[in-house]
């Protein structure tokens, strides 16, 4: 798989270790930055990585900032991207199986590198359980993201 990695300065060291780890797993890795620990802005790198996934230039993205939250918000601003912020492997697994996530965010100030590697390995090994309720729900998320104006999305009348 083609995996894009990105971080801000807070996630720089962890991103570098994860890039090597993911490459050693046999994946094609592209690191789009940041390329130093000098202060920078997580929205830039989260958005750029998510756009690579949304356009098909990458299959998946792994993003790192201090907590994982900010960079995940930036990634989720891109239509077609479903980014999960994880602090343990079980959520990573279910996010792929049930939500078909295509971006993973991690917090370098929240978890250590060994746990980050376990989360990444679990997330990359999992796949979407397509069909049934999971596909219906992911389709609902996709429909919601196509209607950005508040109030534009209408819930099914069956609810």
What pLDDT does residue 50 have? 96
Closest CA to 101 of 81, 131, 122, 117: 81
pLDDT at 155: 63
Residue 52, domain CATH: 3.40.1400.10
Q: What is the mean pLDDT of the chain?
A: 93
What is the structure's pLDDT at 141?
Answer: 87
Q: How many domains does the chain have?
A: 1
Summarised one tens digit per residue, pLDDT across range 111-140 is 999 999 999 999 999 999 888 899 999 988
User: Which of the pair, 121 or 157, is modelled with greater confidence?
Assistant: 121
Question: Has residue 148 been placed in a domain?
Answer: no
| Residue 8 lies inside a defined structural domain of this protein | yes
Burial of 38 (0-12, 13-18, 19+ CB in 10 A): exposed
Q: Is residue 141 part of a domain?
A: no
Asked if residue 146 belongs to a domain, the reply is no
Average pLDDT over residues 30-51: 96
CB 99 within 8 Å of CB 139: no
Asked whether residue 28 is domain-assigned, the answer is yes
pTM exceeds cut of 0.85: yes
Residue 12 has pLDDT above 70, yes or no: yes
User: What is the share, in percent, of the chain residues with pLDDT greater than 90?
Assistant: 83
Asked if residues 84 and 95 have their Cβ atoms less than 8 Å apart, the reply is yes
Which residues are annotated as catalytic? 65, 98
The domain in which residue 66 lies consists of 2-129
Longest dimension (CA), the chain: 51
What are the backbone dihedrals phi and psi of residue 73, each rounded to the nearest 5 degrees, phi first?
-65, -40
d(CA 20, CA 41): 23
pLDDT score for 84: 98
């Amino acid at each position: 798989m083609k995996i894009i990695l990105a971080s801000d300065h807070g996630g720089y060291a962890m991103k570098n270790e994860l890039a090597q780890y993911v490459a050693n797993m046999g994946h094609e890795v592209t690191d789009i930055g940041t390329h130093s620990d000098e202060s920078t802005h997580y929205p830039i790198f989260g958005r750029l990585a998510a756009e690579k996934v949304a356009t098909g230039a990458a299959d998946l993205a792994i993003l790192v900032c201090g907590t994982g939250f900010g960079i995940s918000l930036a990634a989720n601003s891109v239509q077609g991207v479903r980014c999960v912020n994880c602090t343990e492997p079980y959520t990573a697994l279910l996010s792929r199986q049930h939500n078909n996530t295509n971006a993973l965010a991690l917090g370098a100030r929240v978890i250590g590198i060994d746990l980050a590697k376990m989360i990444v390995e679990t997330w990359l090994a999992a796949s979407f359980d397509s069909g049934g309720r999971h596909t219906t729900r992911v389709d609902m998320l996709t429909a919601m993201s196509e209607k950005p104006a508040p109030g534009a999305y209408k819930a099914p009348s069956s609810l």
